[in-house]
Structure formats: structure tokens, C-alpha cells
Amino acid sequence: MRLRLVPQETNFDFFRFRNATFGASIVAVIASLVLWLTVGLNFGIDFLGGTTIRTESAAAVDVGAYRAALEPLALGDVVISEVFDPTFAPDQNVAQIRVQAQDGAEAVTSDTVASIEAALQGVDPSITFPSVESVGPKVSGELVTTALVALGAAIAAMLVYIWLRFEWQFAVGAVAALVHDVILTIGIFSLLQIRFDLATIAALLTVLGYSINDTVVIFDRLRENLIKFKKTPLIEVMNRSVNETLARTLMTSGTTLLALIALLVLGGDVIRGFVFAIFWGVIVGTYSSVYVAKNVVLMLGVDRDPKSPDAGTQFADVDA
């Protein structure tokens, strides 16, 4: 007996309130942009600049104890992570501590570094500091530019793929959904002031891949149904396609969210921003696959000339 989240056959009218859902998406995108421009993002060290301190000790690294020792110094954004390497000796325990630049300075001052070292030596007297490196605002600016280029290139590549795989209307709908997902994720980060760093950019790229995968699955079924039901109104064919892929969508999203909830609760502060970005992205990505991408295709329409054997798709024979 197989577990089913939804009945084998459903007939939900996903587009009954299509104007309201699409309008809500537009309002959410505008609100996110306003938050981004007015409140701004809580950038991490990667984008603000700061100092990286490498530690080495004979005792095991205790990230919690390190963090508790540095907390009274009020250093702002501090990222502590243990470094693993198969070449390390058994008694060689290495950690990396990143501290954001203080009060607009290009790097952490030598006095602050000395305070950090003294606090950590209070936790472990054997600790040493092999290296101290600074990341200035110029490098941080380059990282911001590179991150934006990476997001733009990913969206552009997906636009070309969907265009070749289906039709241009499908490509526009898919890209609209991707832009919707990215902007809403940035908006929630701005609203909640969650740290935004390079790990968040990686999460956004993961969200783009997840969202486009869900969109392509429904598009593929839509293309098959457009060929099969050539005289059925487009909105009815879309509803049928979403209903036929609903079980797959809920099972995939549901199992992914279960794993992400576990990571949010048990994963700790270091990965919380990364996990939250993917968690939020899965939710809005699943929503946008239906209520943004399909709404755009519905508004643009598709070529469904009944005289054409491949009505409903320009590139039906192109393999994925």
C-alpha cells in the first residue's frame, strides 16, 4: 500500500483566482524591492570586508566556546568554522574566525585582533594564530559584482534552454518565475535582517535550479497535453497539467522541506542563513511554478493551430 499525499486523480481549479494570485505576486515583488532599497540587506563579511584569523591548537575546536568568549567584545558579524584537512596531524586542530570591519574601517585594528586573541587564549591557553588576513572594501565590491553576474548568467542560460526546449512564451514565464523567487528571497532577508553573504548567493543559485526543475516538469506535461487536447481551452489544459503533476510536486517539496526544517532547528547559526534561503526558496519556487510561470504563459498564449501536427510546441522533438 503506497503513501499518497493527494488522491491519484485531482481536479483543482488552480487558475480560478489567477488575477488575484498574480496581483499578489506583483505586490510582493514591489514590496521586496522597496524593502531592499529602503531597509537594505544585512551584508556579511564577504560583502562588507573584514579580517580572517586562523587559529591552531592541540585541543579540539569548540566553536560554541569560541563564540561565547568573543561575544562580550561586541564585534558584530563573526563567523567561526572548523577547518578540516587530511594532511593535518592528529593534534592539529584548525579554526577560521572571520570578523567584520569595525566602524567603516578597512580592516580590524591591531588592538581588536589582540583582544580577540586574548579572549580565545582564555578558552584554550595552547591556541596559536598562524595568520591574520584582511579583506578590504574593493575586494568585497568585486564579490558583489561577481555574485550578480552569476545570478544573471544562470537566469539567462535557463531562458535560452526553455526557449529551445519549448516556446518563447514558456521561456518568458519561466524567467518571470525565477526573478520573482530571487526578489522575494532578497525581500525576506531584508525584512528579517538575516545575514546575507556568499553562502546566501549559493543558496539562491540552488533555489533557481530547484524552481526551474519544478517548472519544467509541469511545462513538459503541458506540452504533451497541448498536443493531445488541441481543441480544449488553454486554461483547462493548464489545470489538467498541474493536477497531473501535483502529487510529484507535493512529494518533492514536502520531503525537501522536512530535511530543511531539521537543518534549521539543529544546524546551528553558521548555516542558518543558507538553509533559510533554500527553505524559503522552495516554498516560493513551488508557488511561482504555477501562479507566476503558468499565468504568464496563459496571458501570452501559445500557437495552437489545429492544422499543425505539433500544435502547442515549436520544438517538440528537441531532447532535454
Over the stretch 1-42, which tens digit does the pLDDT of each residue have? 555 666 667 777 888 888 888 899 999 999 999 999 998 888
What is the dihedral angle through the alpha carbons of 17, 23, 28, 31, rounded to the nearest 10 degrees?
-150
Judge whether residue 313 has pLDDT over 70: no
pLDDT at residue 31 in the model: 95
Query: Region 225-243: what's the mean pLDDT?
Result: 84
Residues 6 or more apart whose Cβ sits within 8 Å of residue 156: none
Q: Is the pLDDT of residue 147 over 90?
A: no
d(C-alpha 208, C-alpha 181), whole Å: 8
Could you please report the per-residue DSSP string of 6-36? S-SS----TTTTHHHHHHHHHHHHHHHHHHH
Q: Give Cα 296 to chain centroid, integer Å.
A: 22
CB–CB of 167/303 below 8 Å?
A: yes
- The residue that leads in pLDDT, 242 or 305, is 242
Domains of the chain: 18-42+139-300 (1.20.1640.10), 50-135 (3.30.70.2040)
Q: What percent of the chain has pLDDT over 70?
A: 86
Q: Grid coordinates in use for 216? A: 519544467
Residue 185 vs residues 115, 177, 181, 221: alpha-carbon distances, Å: 37, 12, 6, 28
Mean pLDDT check: name the lowest of 139-143, 166-170, 205-209.
Answer: 139-143
Cα distance between residue 90 and residue 212, in whole Å: 44
pLDDT confidence bin for 138, thresholds 50/70/90: low
CA atoms within 13 A of residue 146's CA, in its CB half-sphere: 11
Of residues 8 and 212, which shows the higher confidence score?
Answer: 212
Residue 114 burial (CB count, 10 A): 10
pLDDT for the residue numbered 26: 93
With beta carbons less than 8 A apart as the criterion, state whether 181 and 309 touch: no
Owner of C-alpha cell 489545470: 239
Mean pLDDT (whole number) for 149-169 = 81
* 71 has a pLDDT exceeding 80: yes
